[in-house]
């Protein structure tokens, strides 16, 4: 596939159950786990560091995932690690950060180098997570810059799980229609 590109001898590794839309682009040192999906116009660019996306996670339309190269200030640079059962909404930027399992990243949010979302973070749309910021799991976070708003309700935790499952089901329908 032309949209899955080798870079400097490294080809992305995708589980056979992964869906990548024809208009999305995946480059270089990228590993995507079982039942995950990459949606239209999304770029996952592992050219100067690695990107790992877990199982049953979805990266929605027009999102950008990129990394920071190793340099003197950060000898290992910043990779991107997205856990299992994660929903990344439309037009999100993940740059050199870690998103734990069972998170939902709202549309238009930006998460910067070295930031960490612990498991079960619900990040509201349009939020900015500054470099190195750690978001405690089990809470709704919102704003630019981001701030902790309140603990997640049981319904919100269920919604995070529902969203991940919905995108697994949706990618199956897309794969069947190819």
Q: Per the structure block, which two tokens stand in for 91?
A: 């037009």
Concatenate the DSSP letters of all residues of 90-137 into one string: TT-EEES-EE-TT-EE-TT-EE-TT-EE-SS-EEPTT-EE-TT-EEPT
Q: Using the predicted structure, report yes or no on whether residue 1 has a pLDDT greater than 70.
A: no
Residues 6+ apart with CB under 8 A from 22: 1, 3
What CATH number matches the domain at 4-177, 2.160.10.10, 1.10.287.3510, 3.20.20.370, 2.40.160.10? 2.160.10.10
Q: Using the predicted structure, report yes or no on whether residue 137 has a pLDDT greater than 80.
A: yes
> For residue 67, what pLDDT is reported?
98
Q: Where are the domains of the chain?
A: 4-177
- Report phi then psi at 93, rounded to 5: -115, 120
> For residue 23, what pLDDT is reported?
97
Q: How large is the C-alpha radius of gyration of the chain? A: 15
> For residue 178, what pLDDT is reported?
79
């Amino acid at each position: 596939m032309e949209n899955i590109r080798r870079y400097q001898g490294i080809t992305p590794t995708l589980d056979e159950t992964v869906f990548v839309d024809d208009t999305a682009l995946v480059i270089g040192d990228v590993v995507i786990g079982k039942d995950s999906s990459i949606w239209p116009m999304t770029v996952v660019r592992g050219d100067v560091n690695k990107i790992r996306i877990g199982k049953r996670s979805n990266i929605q339309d027009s999102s950008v995932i990129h990394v920071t190269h190793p340099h003197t200030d950060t000898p290992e640079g910043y990779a991107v690690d997205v856990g299992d059962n994660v929903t990344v909404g439309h037009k999100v930027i993940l740059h050199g950060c870690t998103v734990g399992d069972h998170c939902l990243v709202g549309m238009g949010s930006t998460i910067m180098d070295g930031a960490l979302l612990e498991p079960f973070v619900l990040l509201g749309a349009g939020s900015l997570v500054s470099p190195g910021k750690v978001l405690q799991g089990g809470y709704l976070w919102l704003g630019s810059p981001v701030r902790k708003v309140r603990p997640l309700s049981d319904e919100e935790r269920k919604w995070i799980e529902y969203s991940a499952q919905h995108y697994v089901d949706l990618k199956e329908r897309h794969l069947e229609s190819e």
